[in-house]
Amino acid sequence: MTPENHQAVLLTEKSAGILRLTLNRPGQRNALSGKLIDELIAQLGAAEQDNAVRVVVIAAMGTAFCAGHDLTEMIALTRPQRQQLLGRCSEMMMALQRIPQPVIAQVQGVATAAGCQLVASCDLAVASSHARFATPGVDIGLFCSTPAVALSRSVPTKQALRMLFTGAPVDARWAQQIGLVSDVVEEVDLESATAALAEQIASKSAACMGSGKQAFYRQQGLSLDQAYADAAAEMITNLDSAPAKEGIAAFLEKRKPVWPDC
């Protein structure tokens, strides 16, 4: 019997508006099995409908953050099954940006292939100074085409292609320089730094954060003039919202806002 048959592959914890989802396959370096992908989809879908969740943190047990797809599982699948698995994985990656809550990756170790894709798909990423990132598919003759989708939308083209063409790992500081991660901290500070960032975001208006996140990703797919038009319409709608009215009043009255959606 494998550990996956008798223990949860995803641990969940919710406290003070922060939902913490922890990958729990340390013996497999938290590789994305079909079961783990399905669990993540379910939890993200539930969070999307839960007004009590204001921020989501993706963390992992063990020394590795995520080693990508579970190749042992994948090679045993038929072609239609592989297509279904990759489709579900893409659905999960897109859900990270679709849900209104900001999603933060807490990266303590290596994040490779689809694990690197997972980091790139999160809104923010706090990495330990010991973390490493790679898209090493070329080393086994399997180009990281699906990880490339998220990677190419997070970092400049030539840096993304350098990672994809060489498969070589990059360190956390380099990953921060190219925009793959937002923060790098010492390993001992990783959990507290991630928690502090999550708490700071959770203290803002959830409605403002949710509509703003969705508008941000929406305008990325538009031409410059369309992006400005869409953003202006979003701001006009935002100005009429209860959080904006409270926030502006608090600013003018020199007091701390009391968000109506808290």
DSSP E strand boundaries for 119-222: 124-128, 132-134, 170-171, 183-185
Distance CA 59, CA 131 (A): 13
- Residue 6's pLDDT is 63
The proportion of the chain whose per-residue pLDDT surpasses 90, expressed as a percent, equals 96
246: part of which helix (H) or strand (E)? helix 242-252
Q: Where in the chain is the domain with CATH 1.10.12.10?
A: 206-252
CATH classification (class only), 3-202: alpha beta
Q: Where in the chain is the domain with CATH 3.90.226.10?
A: 3-202
CATH T-level assignment (fold) for domain 206-252: Lyase 2-enoyl-coa Hydratase; Chain  A, domain 2 (1.10.12)
Q: Which residues of 149-181 are buried (b: 16+ CB within 10 A; e: fewer)?
A: ebbeebbeeebbeebbeebebbebebbbebebb
* Pairing of the two strands 10-15 and 18-23: antiparallel
Contact of 197 with 104, CB cutoff 8 Å: yes
- Of 178, 48, 172, nearest to 108 by C-alpha is 172
- Residue 28's pLDDT is 97
Residues of the chain with pLDDT under 70: 1-6, 262
- Residue 195's pLDDT is 98
Q: What is the DSSP letter of 66?
A: B
Distance CA 225, CA 238 (A): 20
Q: Look-up: residue for tokens 């979003």?
A: 234
